[in-house]
């Protein structure tokens, strides 16, 4: 699995999430797209991404797949969904995608979702970034148009609720998300 971090950078919470998946037998690669920078404030992290260029951050993510085998699951938290979803849609041999707190319309990344590539999308139903900025709508369309797609909505308004190192962390939905992700990965092996 190739897992991309969110706009705060490669936080301890993202590392812990990867470690939890490793602990149950999954190989997880976690590149740092921010060159070691981690931001306490999401606005500052997104300002950094804006300064570097969102396209450049996405390209960094896509480039990290070079040298890795085909047959991966691509996963991303929020900002990291851009690279994860692009790789899942365009890199040959993709096995699946896990999209946390974000989802793009597949047409923005080159066309329809590829057949045979499983996808799960996770977000909170009142998260202003996910629910109000079009991601939830894109997720619903993706699920309608894709045979092997699932959308999991959690009650609440936190954007990065699955990152243990952030104030937005919510224990119960994060545990449920992790459980669903492990089942998803176990089903792909």
Strands 96-100 and 118-124: parallel
Counting the structural domains of the chain, the total is: 1
CATH code of the domain containing 157: 3.40.50.1820
Residue 185 in domain: no
| Size (the chain), residues | 189
Contact predicate 110/77, CB 8 Å: no
Handedness of CA 17, 187, 102, 27 (dihedral sign): positive
State which H helix or E strand residue 75 sits in: strand 73-77
Residue 8 in domain: yes
* Mean pLDDT in residue range 53-58: 95
Contact predicate 66/59, CB 8 Å: no
Give this prediction's pTM.
0.96
* Mean pLDDT in residue range 103-130: 94
Residue 175 in domain: yes
Residue 67 in domain: yes
pLDDT number for residue 111: 82
Number of other residues whose CB lies within 10 A of the CB of residue 14: 27
Residue 187 in domain: no
Residue 41 in domain: yes
What is the span of the domain harbouring residue 76? 2-180
Tokens 């790789």 belong to which residue? 87
Give 5-49 pLDDT, tens digit per residue. Answer: 999 999 999 999 999 999 999 999 999 999 999 999 999 999 999
Q: How confident is the model at residue 141 (pLDDT cuts 50, 70, 90)?
A: very high
């Amino acid at each position: 699995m190739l897992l991309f971090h969110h706009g705060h950078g490669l936080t301890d919470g993202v590392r812990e999430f990867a470690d939890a998946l490793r602990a149950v037998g999954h190989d997880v690669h976690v590149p740092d797209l921010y060159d070691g920078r981690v931001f306490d404030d999401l606005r500052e992290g997104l300002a950094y991404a804006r300064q570097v260029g969102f396209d450049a951050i996405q390209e960094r993510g896509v480039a990290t797949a070079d040298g890795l085998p085909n047959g991966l699951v691509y996963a991303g938290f929020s900002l990291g969904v851009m690279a994860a979803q692009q790789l899942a849609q365009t890199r040959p041999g993709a096995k699946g995608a896990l999209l946390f707190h974000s989802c793009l319309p597949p047409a923005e990344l080159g066309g329809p979702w590829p057949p045979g590539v499983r996808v799960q999308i996770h977000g909170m139903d009142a998260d202003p970034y996910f629910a109000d900025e079009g991601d939830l709508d894109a997720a619903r369309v993706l699920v309608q148009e894709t045979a092997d797609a699932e959308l999991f909505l959690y009650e609440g308004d936190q954007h990065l609720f699955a990152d243990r190192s952030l104030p937005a962390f919510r224990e119960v939905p994060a545990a449920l998300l992790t459980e669903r992700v492990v089942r998803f990965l176990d089903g792909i092996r």
